[in-house]
């Protein structure tokens, strides 16, 4: 992370006052190698934490009020943790939501002063909001809860905050990895039971790079939640003859064929994508054990095809960027994250890296008259206290 403790501390003192410094916590954003929209379907995901993240200084103030300053937005607000009414700014609502959900779990949260900042590009599909939630969930657990809640419980606090206070019915991937990330390791999570496995990420001769289309995806609201509904419709239809089914994870492609006409083509295609995406995560897990990065890349391209054509969460700009990757001979590329824009994730042979970046920048600018942004991936550490 480029932001330092001093960057945050100087603003904390300036905007919140007082003599005593607070404690400083940080949480990362994430990449996801493969496994998109599988999390809320009880499936597999394969994320890793990145070096970019959120950093926050927090100091209990002995009242029932949270006084919060967003350094990036130069925005200040104060709100009571006992007030039923949400603060207006979305960034403050995350903090309020986390505090309220921690209280609901019995953590005796009190008021605090905080200043926070981040270097995760917003809307890039790198989970800046999960990083914000995880920072505060971890910090409040530390400051008021004596570390009582587990990392997984803290991840669920963040997820519930998204559902109840923001309106995105997201899965658990982003908050999970923000809290559980390990330097230099990708994590394959089974969202059905919370079991996870670490995979050292050391692709000799390859690099992972994100190209941000800078098309901002808006997850809150219908498009994301609609996809989730489609999957639930299909599960509902399959349940009529297989009642034990809880999520698409428990369904086979034969089950899906049986309900095809009943659920309609759109929901059918979406569910088919999820079943195939789960298979791809497993295939990539095996390929990684064999250091077979060419197979990893092949699956990434397949995933893009599926998420763009069947799950319909792509966009023109990310399709274009994946097309450039393919033309340049890049090993694997796909749109990453919630969808409708943001970054593509690219697995590139080192000797091809410069050519690809050059081509992506030039061709993207020629077509859209705006710049895409290059973000080299370094797999970083999960949420922690800095001082």
Task: Kindly state the tokens that stand for 27.
Answer: 């949480």
CB of 68 to ligand GLA, least distance (A): 23
CB of 200 to ligand GLA, least distance (A): 23
* 171 counts as binding ligand GLA under rule CB under 6 A: yes
* 127 counts as binding ligand GLA under rule CB under 6 A: yes
Write down the residue that tokens 């419709």 correspond to.
233
Which class for 202: exposed (0-12), middle (13-18), buried (19 or more C-beta within 10 A)? exposed
* 111 counts as binding ligand GLA under rule CB under 6 A: no
CB of 11 to ligand GLA, least distance (A): 28
Helix, strand, or coil (residue 112): strand
CB of 189 to ligand GLA, least distance (A): 11
Residue closer to ligand GLA (CB basis): 141 or 335? 335
Q: What is the DSSP letter of 103?
A: H
* 8 counts as binding ligand GLA under rule CB under 6 A: no
Site mask, ligand GLA, residues 302-341, x = CB under 6 A?
Answer: -----------------------------------xx---
Residue closer to ligand GLA (CB basis): 173 or 214? 173
Residue closer to ligand GLA (CB basis): 61 or 175? 175
* 174 counts as binding ligand GLA under rule CB under 6 A: yes
* Contact indicator for 95, 139 with CB cutoff of 8 Å: no
Task: Kindly state the tokens that stand for 184.
Answer: 């230099």
Residues 6+ apart with CB under 8 A from 88: 77
Q: Among this protein's residues, is 174 annotated catalytic? A: yes
219 vs 340: CA distance, rounded Å = 9
CB of 166 to ligand GLA, least distance (A): 10
33 vs 297: CA distance, rounded Å = 10
Which of 39, 174, 267, 310 is flagged as catalytic?
174
> Nearest 10 degrees: CA dihedral of 183, 289, 151, 224?
100
Pairing of strands 65-70, 112-118: parallel
Interface residues for ligand GLA in 45-74 (CB under 6 A)? none
157 vs 202: CA distance, rounded Å = 32
Residue closer to ligand GLA (CB basis): 171 or 332? 171
> Phi-psi category of 174—alpha, beta or left, where left has phi over 0 and alpha has psi -120 to 50?
alpha
Residues 6+ apart with CB under 8 A from 217: 123, 125, 337, 338, 339, 340, 341, 342
CB of 40 to ligand GLA, least distance (A): 6
From the list 27, 280, 47, the residue with the least C-alpha distance to 139 is: 27
Using the rule CB under 6 A, which residue among 11, 37, 67, 304 binds ligand GLA?
37
Using the rule CB under 6 A, which residue among 8, 27, 39, 310 binds ligand GLA?
39
* 173 counts as binding ligand GLA under rule CB under 6 A: yes
Residue closer to ligand GLA (CB basis): 79 or 138? 138
Q: Which residues are catalytic?
A: 174
Q: Which residues bind ligand GLA (CB under 6 A)?
A: 36-37, 39-40, 127, 170-171, 173-174, 337-338
């Amino acid at each position: 992370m480029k932001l330092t403790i001093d960057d945050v501390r100087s603003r904390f003192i300036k905007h919140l006052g007082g003599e005593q410094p607070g404690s400083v916590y940080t949480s990362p954003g994430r990449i996801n190698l493969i496994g998109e929209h599988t999390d809320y379907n009880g499936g597999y995901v394969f994320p890793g934490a990145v070096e970019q993240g959120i950093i926050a200084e927090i100091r209990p103030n002995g009242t029932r009020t949270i006084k919060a300053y967003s350094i990036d937005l130069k925005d200040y607000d104060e709100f009571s943790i006992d007030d039923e009414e949400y603060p207006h700014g979305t960034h403050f609502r995350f903090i309020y939501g986390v505090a309220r959900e921690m209280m609901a779990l019995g953590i005796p949260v009190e008021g605090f002063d905080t200043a926070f900042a981040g270097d995760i590009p917003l809307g890039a599909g790198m989970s800046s909001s999960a990083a914000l939630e995880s920072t505060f969930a971890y910090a409040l657990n530390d400051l008021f809860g004596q570390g009582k809640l587990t990392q997984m419980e803290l991840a669920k606090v963040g997820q519930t905050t998204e559902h109840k206070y923001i309106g995105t019915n997201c899965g658990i991937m982003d908050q999970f990895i923000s809290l559980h990330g390990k330097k230099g390791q990708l994590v394959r999570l089974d969202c059905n039971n919370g079991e996870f496995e670490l995979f050292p990420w050391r692709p000799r001769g390859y690099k992972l790079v994100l190209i941000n289309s800078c098309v901002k995806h808006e997850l809150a609201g219908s498009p994301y939640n609609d996809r989730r509904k489609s999957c639930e419709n299909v599960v509902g239809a399959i349940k009529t003859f297989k009642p034990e089914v809880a999520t698409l994870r428990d369904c086979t492609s034969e089950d899906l064929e049986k309900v095809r006409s009943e659920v309609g083509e759109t929901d059918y295609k979406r569910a088919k994508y999820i079943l195939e995406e789960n298979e791809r995560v497993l295939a990539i897990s095996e390929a990684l054990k064999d250091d077979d990065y060419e197979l990893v890349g092949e699956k990434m391209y397949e995933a893009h095809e599926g998420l763009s054509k069947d799950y319909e969460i792509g966009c023109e700009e990310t399709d274009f960027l994946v097309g450039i990757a393919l033309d340049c001979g890049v090993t694997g590329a796909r749109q990453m994250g919630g969808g409708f824009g943001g970054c593509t994730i690219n697995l590139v042979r080192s000797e091809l890296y410069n050519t690809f970046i050059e081509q992506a920048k030039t061709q993207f600018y020629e077509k859209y008259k705006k710049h895409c942004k290059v973000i080299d991936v370094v797999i970083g550490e999960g949420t922690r206290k800095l001082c």
